[in-house]
Amino acid sequence: MNLTFPELSRQTLLALAIAAVFALPAITSSASPPPNIILIYGDDIGYGDFGCYGGTGAKTPNVDRLAKEGLRFTSAYASSATCTPSRYSLLTGQYAFRKKGTGVLPGDAALIIEPGRPTLPSILKQAGYTTAVVGKWHLGLGEAGKPLDWNAEIKPGPREIGFDYSYIMAATGDRVPCVYVENHRVVGLVSDDPIQVNYQEAFPGEPDGVKDRATLKLDWSHGHNQAVINGIGRIGYMKGGKAALWKDEDMADVFTKQALQFIERAKTQRFFLYFATHDVHVPRVPHPRFVGKSSMGPRGDALVQFDWCVGEILKTLDRLNLADRTLVLLSSDNGPVLDDGYKDQANEKLGDHRPAGPLRAGKYSLFEGGTRMPFLVRWPGRVKPGQSDALFSQVDLPATLGALAAGGANPELWPDSRNLLPALLGDTPTGRDHVVEHANRLAIRRGKWKFIPPGQTSDQLGPWRKVQIAEPGLLFDLDADPGETRDLAAAHPEVVSELKALLAQIRDSGRTP
């Protein structure tokens, strides 16, 4: 039906006019229509792991290609040094430390993002994007206080917070249930073999990683000794669902296939794909075709596998002629870790490779290795290739991408997310003024200064090695000393007081000032 103006209500016209005004800045400010957006999110990949960031132990030609064709950031941060809080911030635009219950979640946790609240995918969906998440979720599924039935409809989850399509693992590769969930259902589940999940008690008669240790194909070093799935000990117990269980070796293929299929389906629309791969989190069990492809054993081979996933995405964009219309972002959720609970020789085979590059420590730590991430941004013809030293946090992605897509994301929506579109696109070298770094507690960076208050944190590339930081805390000049080796707190007490006060203000006011 053709509508003529008199047939349209005044209200509709008004709405259209308002929409047009809001749509305009996006088009004029970026000089092209809003692009598709693909966010490739690695797991436990450190600042120094890729070739383009100085990595030597695994070849990463596809990631390096992104760096060559795009902008390589040197001061971009995940909002936390572990997975759940980083992903929470990335999707909600709120620092995770503000909300209880955003620490590393078990596989049977309820969804921690309230349906209906603005999120990165919901704001893009409102702006007309088709949205999807493929890969690691780790933000909980189902309602709080209600045990989840994995055999029924699994919700609320990604689809209730803004994703049109989802193909995920619930938590991590090392946590049960070891199955894929597509939209609201476990993939491949048959009705006569229901799934049960329990994080407290073992199911009698099922194999477990302690009594059946001798049968494991990958031995554990700490934890990871409960359910045995695919010959690997996990965190938590599960029973049933045999036909639905994943095979770790195939996981990268499965997720990549789903990501590519989504791109194919969405290619005629404007789309947002959050592609959260499992590599290089433990258990590191890459497909046999990647085994031995690095000099570092499974951790390096998993990096090569990650790079392959990136290559498949780039190839598909080229084949579909979408590269120029697609903003590709690549980063990771927290710093690197070597032994994270399995005997996979990550330490022994490390060689000269430095997973955190010149930075100190890694996953779980308040030192820079914990949260400073590789971050690549490619949009051919729009983002000039090069390097950016702008301070950027993943918590800024909702406001920044919201601005790109919708012509001005309302800052009121996001407590901590800042619209840094000019920095993201390389139009300015200036990013944030300051960023909070979160691990077991908080630290802050402002400009070149980094302050870690007194108390504990972790100080190695392994699991958790406690260091005690004495009063008045540690102060580093990251320009002169990126490895945080020279404490300047005594030399600059005024900077210490300022940063202490700023951190307290950010924490107590509930928003980033």
Binding site residues, ligand NG6, CB under 6 A:
43-44, 82-83, 104, 138, 172, 174, 222-224, 235, 281-282, 334, 340-341
Least separation in angstroms between residue 83's CB and ligand NG6 is 3
Tokens of 150: 């994995």
Residue 171 beta carbon to ligand NG6: minimum distance, rounded to whole angstroms:
7
Would you say 302 and 280 are in contact if contact means Cβ atoms under 8 Å apart? yes
User: Going along 148-284, which residue ranges are E strands?
Assistant: 165-169, 180-182, 185-186, 196-198, 228-229, 232-233, 237-239, 271-276
The item of ligand NG6, Ca ion, none sharing an interface with residue 104, based on CB under 5 to 8 Å by kind, is ligand NG6
Minimum Å gap between C-beta 104 and ligand NG6 is 5
Q: Which is nearer to Ca ion, 37 or 373 (CB)?
A: 373
Q: What are phi and psi of 451, to 5 degrees?
A: -120, 125
Q: Does 333 bind Ca ion (CB under 5 A)?
A: yes
Q: Which of ligand NG6, Ca ion, none binds 416 (CB below 5-8 Å, type-dependent)?
A: none
Q: Between 123 and 181, whose beta carbon lies closer to ligand NG6?
A: 181
Parallel, antiparallel, or unpaired: how do β-strands 271-276 and 36-42 relate?
Answer: parallel
- Min. distance of Cβ 10 from Ca ion in angstroms? 52
CB of 78 to Ca ion, least distance (A): 9
* Residue placing its CB nearer to ligand NG6 in the complex, 222 or 242: 222
Of these partners, Ca ion, ligand NG6, none, which one is at the site of residue 223 (CB under 5 to 8 Å by kind)? ligand NG6
Minimum Å distance from CB 354 to ligand NG6? 20
Nearest-angstrom CA–CA distance, 161 and 144: 15
**Nearest C-alpha neighbor of 132 from the set 102, 161, 173, 175:** 161
Here's the x/- map for Ca ion, 4-43, by CB under 5 A: it reads as ---------------------------------------x
d(CA 175, CA 173): 6
Interface with Ca ion, residue 416, by CB under 5 A: no
Q: Among 312, 376, 403, which residue's Cα sits nearest to residue 39?
A: 376
Our CB check for ligand NG6 shows the closer of 164 and 174 to be: 174
Q: Could you say which of ligand NG6, Ca ion, none residue 174 binds, taking C-beta under 5 to 8 angstroms by partner kind? A: ligand NG6
222 binds, among Ca ion, ligand NG6, none (CB under 5 to 8 A by kind): ligand NG6
For Ca ion, the closer CB: 87 or 432: 87
Between residues 139 and 161, which has the closer beta carbon with respect to ligand NG6? 139
Nearer to ligand NG6, 101 or 381 (CB): 101
Nearer to ligand NG6, 231 or 380 (CB): 231
> What are the backbone angles phi and psi of residue 8, rounded to the nearest 5°?
-80, 140
Any idea which residue has 């503000």 for tokens? 98
23's tokens:
């749509």
Cβ neighbours around 171 below 10 Å, total: 26
Question: Where are the alpha helices (H) located in 267-297, listed in sequence order?
Answer: none
Least distance in angstroms from the C-beta of 156 to ligand NG6: 21
Report in angstroms how near the CB of residue 87 gets to Ca ion at its nearest. Answer: 9
The phi, psi pair for 116, rounded to 5°, reads: 100, -20
Given a contact cutoff of 8 angstroms between Cβ atoms, the answer to whether 224 and 341 are in contact is: yes
Residue 290 or 364: which CB sits closer to ligand NG6?
364
Q: CA-CA distance, 346 to 45, in Å (whole number)?
A: 13
**Least Å from the CB of residue 270 to ligand NG6:** 31
Nearer to Ca ion, 277 or 316 (CB): 277
Residues 355, 56 contacting (CB under 8 angstroms): no
3-state DSSP call for residue 298?
A: helix
> Which residues, 6 or more positions from 325, have their beta carbon under 8 angstroms from its beta carbon?
33, 35, 36
DSSP for residue 203: P
Closest CA to 282 of 366, 139, 171: 171
Q: Which two tokens stand for residue 67?
A: 């760096």
CA distance linking residue 327 with residue 307, whole number of Å: 18
Question: What gap in Å lies between CA 248 and CA 158, rounded to an integer?
Answer: 23
Task: Report, in Å, the least distance between residue 334 CB and ligand NG6.
Answer: 6
Q: Which does 260 bind (CB under 5 to 8 A by kind): ligand NG6, Ca ion, none?
A: none
Give the position of tokens 């493929």: 134
Applying CB under 5 A, which of residues 334, 417, 458, 460 lies at the interface with Ca ion? 334
**Angle, CA of 456, 462 and 467, to the nearest 5°:** 20
Tokens read off for 212: 């059946």
Position 396 contacts Ca ion (CB under 5 A)? no
Binding part of the chain for Ca ion, among 115-123, 334-342, 384-392, 460-468 by CB under 5 A, reads: 334-342
> Which of Ca ion, ligand NG6, none does 79 bind, CB closer than 5 to 8 A by kind?
none
Site for Ca ion in 36-75 (CB under 5 A): 43-44
Q: How far is the CB of 284 from Ca ion (least distance, A)?
A: 13
Q: Residue 34 or 107: which CB sits closer to ligand NG6?
A: 107
- Residues in the site for Ca ion, rule: CB under 5 A? 43-44, 83, 333-334
